[in-house]
């Protein structure tokens, strides 16, 4: 391997995997049979592996990197695959420091093989560990090894892999680099699901025993899967054995971000169900949209909240197909426009059809039937979902043009972030009869607007507090006092943000926050007969699944297929008057048409 090739390859690996051996994570990886990788050493180093294995066979006085004689390739030696690249990397500052060791698995007789190894290492003294070079490379000898009593006869840079369940204080611990055993001595687990508890306990006890002597532990022949890597990490295995160092490093590096532990469970409201599904006149319609909120997101919140949610108390539910007019996978603009207008449109378009023609939305249409209306969101008011209910514009990012539609809308109330986007609209909003308030309190105004933040609102975990539930309670009270039918859209916007960021904590905390607002709405429906509550999503974000969790501790692990929207169907829940009408599987546009069918049945212009 020439200098240019190895240098460029390492840089590519570090860029590709976003990892560096300079930055050690909380986990450590053992690159098992590393010499079989397409690019030995550099692949493991690029993945941040701290233990790198090479099998050696002594043949004709040369140390060949191979598992058996039949696979020997004269070009593949410990020098060419490992020692030369390491020396070169240090010389050229590609390897800033050595924070890994080589596990040398001897396949030929120990004493004669080690004699040749010592001679070979004379050319690498400047790389090796010593009293004068405490940051140097160490070799841990595995496979065929000398007797423990002879360990002391070998140089400081050479340590040994102890392989026995029998551990005692009189072992030569100063020359033992790690303790390794076959995983099969403890368990027959295949890495799927969970390990049998009795077997897991035996493994844990041995790990703890090794640690009591201040040494690291590794298990060879262990399952090599995400479930296994996670289990071994949680049990404290020091060097997680894998043939897939890049995949293991990627998974384990994201594990902390992918796992969420809920420390603040909320109680759920028990609906009365007295008029749930009843064919009584619909007076109020409340549409709640969890942006990006798919079944996995709901499930994650459910499991982290003691296996109960306000949302999952509901009995009438269905599935919604979310495709846009011009794309299989919708964005929030097209998805919300379908709910607001009953027509599919192109991605990025707000309140217009696929040809750019303005469409009437629910607040404007329902005004003709005597309905008041409002919008509450954790997003900025020019965000795609809320804007779909008052604006008519083909590009969701044109905030200046979008904001100009607000004063022309039939909305009676809005509560959102993004006040600076409307700074030029102050007079128009005032002329339209909006009173801009600075807090959620008693007001006699007919139309109100409240910009809670000049720009984006904080996420729930960043200190947003009880904004959504308090705004929802205020909005319901404000609209109800008008003594007219009303339509209210409530959006939880940041479930989507969590999906885009593959951030489990954001997804679950935002969904749990949404669920508390759902409780307010369901309770309102129980107290105000004729209220129809619809809870759904514009699309799913992240391609989320839940590989593991623990209901008792409120812990869930989320996995991600994407950092974008997906085309999977989203759940829809309904409660109250005519909630049974929302069962089934249908297009997102049907939500609008189902609402309008009920409005026309019980109200006239």
Written as six digits, the tokens of 108 are 């030929």
Residues 171 and 289 in one domain: no
273 found inside a domain:
no
Residues 472 and 595 in one domain: yes
Written as six digits, the tokens of 251 are 């998974």
Three-state DSSP state, 395: coil
107 found inside a domain:
yes
Question: What is the domain-level CATH number for residue 378?
Answer: 3.40.720.10
Written as six digits, the tokens of 359 are 């469409």
CB count, 10 Å around CB of 52? Answer: 26
396 found inside a domain:
yes
Written as six digits, the tokens of 294 are 């798919």
Work out the pLDDT band at 305, boundaries 50, 70, 90: very high
pTM: predicted TM-score of the whole model, two decimal places: 0.89
Residue 318: which residues within 8 A CB-CB, separation 6 or more?
A: 571, 572, 582, 583, 584, 585, 586
| Closest C-alpha to 103, from 154, 160, 147 | 160
C-alpha dihedral (196, 27, 21, 138), degrees to nearest 10: -80
pLDDT value for 9:
52
> Rounded to whole angstroms, how far apart are CA atoms 463 and 468?
12
pLDDT value for 87:
95
197 found inside a domain:
no
Residues 175 and 289 in one domain: no
490 found inside a domain:
yes
pLDDT value for 25:
58
Instruction: List, as one string, the DSSP characters of 235-278.
Output: HT-SSEEES-HHHHHHHHHHHHHHEEE------------SSTT-
Q: What's the mean pLDDT in 391-409? A: 97
Residues 353 and 468 in one domain: yes
pLDDT value for 26:
85
42 found inside a domain:
yes
Residue 420: which residues within 8 A CB-CB, separation 6 or more?
A: 454, 455
pLDDT (tens digit per residue) in 179-199: 999 999 999 999 999 899 999
pLDDT at 16 over 90: no
Residues 177 and 290 in one domain: no
β-pair type (555-560, 259-261): antiparallel
Query: What mean pLDDT value characterizes the chain?
Result: 95
Residues 176 and 322 in one domain: no
Paired strand residues for 352: 358
> Rounded to whole angstroms, how far apart are CA atoms 478 and 18?
51
Residues 16 and 147 in one domain: yes
262 found inside a domain:
no
Final residue in a domain of this structure, among 166, 181, 196: 181
> Rounded to whole angstroms, how far apart are CA atoms 387 and 324?
17
β-pair type (555-560, 544-550): antiparallel
Residues belonging to the chain:
605
Q: Contacts by 469-473 with C-beta closer than 8 Å and gap 24+? A: 469/513, 469/516, 469/517, 469/519, 469/520, 470/440, 471/376, 471/415, 471/440, 472/376, 472/517, 472/520, 472/521, 473/520
> Rounded to whole angstroms, how far apart are CA atoms 346 and 281?
35
| Structural domain total, the chain | 2
Q: What's the mean pLDDT in 211-226? A: 97
Three-state DSSP state, 329: coil
Final residue in a domain of this structure, among 147, 163, 181: 181
> Rounded to whole angstroms, how far apart are CA atoms 41 and 44?
5
301 found inside a domain:
yes
Residues 530 and 412 in one domain: yes
Final residue in a domain of this structure, among 164, 181, 198: 181
| Closest C-alpha to 192, from 223, 214, 147 | 223
* Element holding 450 (H helix, E strand): strand 447-451
Q: Which domain holds residue 75?
A: 3-181
Q: What's the mean pLDDT in 320-328? A: 98
Are 229 and 49 in contact by the 8 Å Cβ rule? The answer is no
Paired strand residues for 128: 137
- DSSP secondary structure code for residue 350 in this structure: B
Written as six digits, the tokens of 552 are 């008792």
Work out the pLDDT band at 23, boundaries 50, 70, 90: very low
Q: What's the mean pLDDT in 536-541? A: 98
Residues catalogued as catalytic? 332
pLDDT (tens digit per residue) in 109-144: 999 999 999 999 999 999 999 999 999 999 999 999
| Closest C-alpha to 53, from 242, 233, 221, 301 | 242
pLDDT at 455 over 60: yes
pLDDT value for 21:
39
Q: What's the mean pLDDT in 365-393? A: 98
pLDDT at 242 over 90: yes
Q: Contacts by 90-98 with C-beta closer than 8 Å and gap 24+? A: 90/127, 92/3, 92/7, 94/7, 94/10, 94/11, 95/21, 95/45, 96/22, 97/22, 97/135, 98/127, 98/135, 98/136, 98/137
Q: What's the mean pLDDT in 415-440? A: 96
- DSSP secondary structure code for residue 352 in this structure: B
């Amino acid at each position: 391997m020439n200098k240019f090739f190895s240098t460029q390859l390492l840089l590519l690996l570090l860029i590709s995997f976003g990892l560096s051996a300079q930055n050690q994570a909380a986990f450590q990886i053992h690159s098992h049979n590393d010499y079989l990788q397409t690019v030995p050493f550099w692949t493991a180093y690029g993945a941040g592996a701290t233990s790198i294995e090479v099998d050696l066979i002594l043949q004709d006085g040369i140390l060949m990197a191979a598992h058996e004689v039949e696979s020997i390739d004269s070009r593949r030696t410990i020098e060419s695959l490992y020692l030369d690249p390491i020396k070169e990397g240090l010389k050229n500052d590609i390897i800033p420091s050595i924070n890994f060791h080589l596990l040398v698995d001897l396949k030929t007789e120990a004493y004669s093989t080690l004699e040749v190894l010592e001679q070979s290492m004379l050319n690498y003294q400047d790389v090796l560990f010593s009293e004068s070079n405490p940051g140097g490379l160490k070799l841990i000898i595995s496979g065929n090894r000398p007797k423990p009593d002879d360990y002391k006869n070998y140089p400081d840079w050479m340590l040994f892999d102890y392989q026995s369940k029998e551990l005692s204080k009189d072992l030569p611990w100063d020359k033992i680099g790690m303790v390794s055993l076959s995983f099969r001595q403890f368990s027959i687990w295949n890495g799927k699901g969970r390990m049998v508890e009795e077997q897991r306990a035996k493994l844990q006890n041995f790990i703890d025993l090794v640690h009591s002597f201040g040494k690291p532990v590794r298990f060879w022949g262990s399952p090599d899967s995400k479930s296994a890597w996670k289990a071994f990490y949680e049990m404290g295995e020091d060097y997680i054995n894998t043939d897939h160092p890049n995949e293991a490093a990627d998974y384990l590096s994201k594990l902390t971000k992918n796992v969420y532990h809920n420390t603040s469970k909320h109680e759920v409201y028990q609906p009365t169900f007295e008029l749930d599904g009843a064919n009584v006149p619909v007076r109020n319609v409340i549409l709640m949209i969890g942006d990006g909120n798919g079944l996995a997101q709901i499930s994650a919140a459910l499991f982290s909240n003691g296996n109960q949610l306000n949302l999952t108390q509901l009995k009438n539910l269905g599935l919604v197909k979310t495709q846009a007019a011009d794309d299989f996978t919708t964005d929030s603009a097209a998805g919300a426009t379908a709910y607001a207008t009953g027509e599919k449109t192109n991605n990025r378009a707000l309140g217009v059809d696929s040809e750019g023609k303005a469409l009437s939305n629910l607040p404007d249409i329902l005004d003709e039937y005597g309905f008041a209306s409002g919008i509450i969101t954790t997003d900025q008011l020019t965000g795609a979902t809320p804007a779909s209910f008052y604006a008519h514009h083909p590009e969701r990012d044109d905030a200046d043009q979008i904001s100009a539609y607000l004063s022309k809308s039939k909305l009676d109330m809005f509560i959102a972030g993004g006040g600076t986007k409307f700074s030029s609209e102050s007079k128009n909003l005032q002329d339209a009869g909006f009173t801009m308030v600075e807090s959620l309190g008693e007001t006699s105004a007919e139309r109100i607007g409240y910009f809670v933040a000049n720009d984006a609102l904080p996420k729930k975990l960043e200190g947003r507090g009880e904004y959504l539930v308090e705004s929802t309670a205020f909005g319901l009270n404000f609209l109800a006092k008008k003594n007219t039918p009303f339509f209210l859209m409530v959006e939880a916007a940041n479930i989507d943000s969590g999906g885009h960021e593959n951030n489990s904590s954001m997804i679950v905390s935002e969904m749990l926050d949404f669920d508390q607002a759902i409780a307010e709405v369901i309770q309102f429906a129980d107290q105000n007969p004729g209220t129809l509550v619809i809870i759904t999503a514009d699309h799913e974000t992240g391609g989320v699944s839940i590989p593991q969790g623990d209901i008792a501790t409120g812990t869930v692990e989320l996995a991600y297929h994407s950092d974008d929207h997906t085309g999977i169907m989203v759940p829809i829940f309904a409660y109250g008057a005519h909630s049974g009408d929302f069962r089934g599987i249908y297009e997102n546009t049907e939500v609008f048409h189902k609402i309008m069918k009920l409005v026309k049945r019980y109200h006239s212009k």
